[in-house]
Amino acid sequence: MSRLVLAVGAFWFMGEVVDASPGDTEAIRSASFWAFWLFLIAAVSDFLDGWLARRNGWVTAFGRVADPVVDKVLTLGSLIYLCASSNLARDGDLLAVMPVWAVVLMLAREFLVTALRGLVESYGLSFGADRYGKLKLILQVVYIAIPLGVAGGIPHFLHLPFLELTRNPYLFAGMFVVMVGLTVVSGLNYCLRGARLLAETELK
């Protein structure tokens, strides 16, 4: 629940980035700064509470439902804000920070996997996240954090100016291609795994 509150706060500042005048660099920098930290804390808390839950057996029915829902709200919501903001673009970018078609693809993947998980688990079967899905989520978090962090001056705030290199047009575009590829691969893997589990159930 605290992660949901953090997500709302991050969205508030992302909205400030979207609404800022392109020439108002100070407003963009300030809003991006706070959006970055709220988003990063929320994302890190996701990995932390997942690790703690598995390590200590703190698993509840509410948590099994709420955790993936909040994850999707945080990541997909942030991707939509990136899609809406031209203020995070930089000279030399090979493509939009987040093209509309990519957001549609990721939304479709999440709806499909969620529906499939509900169907499989209605048979009493386990259908948790696989390594491709987890890697996809990690890459999404990194991809969202980079333009917010660079626009917010995080590399200089942390006295790590080399982090500016993450916004190199070719590196950033390459990360986008890998992220989209993992979205497709993980979605197909879920579909194949779900189909196999359902087929085995029908044979019993």
Instruction: Report pLDDT digits (tens) over 164-181.
Output: 999 999 999 999 999 999
**Mean of pLDDT values over 66-75:** 85
Q: Which two tokens stand for residue 6?
A: 């953090």
pTM of the model: 0.89
Looking up tokens 């500042």, which residue turns up? Answer: 13
Q: What is the tens place of the pLDDT at every residue in 15-66? A: 999 999 988 999 999 999 999 999 999 999 877 877 777 777 777 766 777 7
Helix axes 100-121, 169-203, angle to 10 degrees: 20
Q: Which distant-in-sequence residues (6+ apart) come within 8 Å of 135 by Cβ?
A: 182, 186
* Best CA proximity match to 73, nearest among 137, 131, 164: 137
CB 2 within 8 Å of CB 45: yes
Is the pLDDT confidence value at 71 over 80? yes
The domain that holds 127 is classified in CATH as: 1.20.120
Give the chain's domain count.
1
How many angstroms separate the CA atoms of 65 and 45, rounded?
17
Percent of the chain clearing pLDDT 70 (strictly above)? 95
* Best CA proximity match to 126, nearest among 51, 45, 201: 201
Q: What is the tens place of the pLDDT at every residue in 97-146? A: 999 999 999 999 988 988 888 888 887 777 777 788 889 889 999 999 99
Task: Please give the span between the terminal C-alpha atoms of the chain, in angstroms, as a whole number.
Answer: 40
Domain that holds residue 78: 2-203
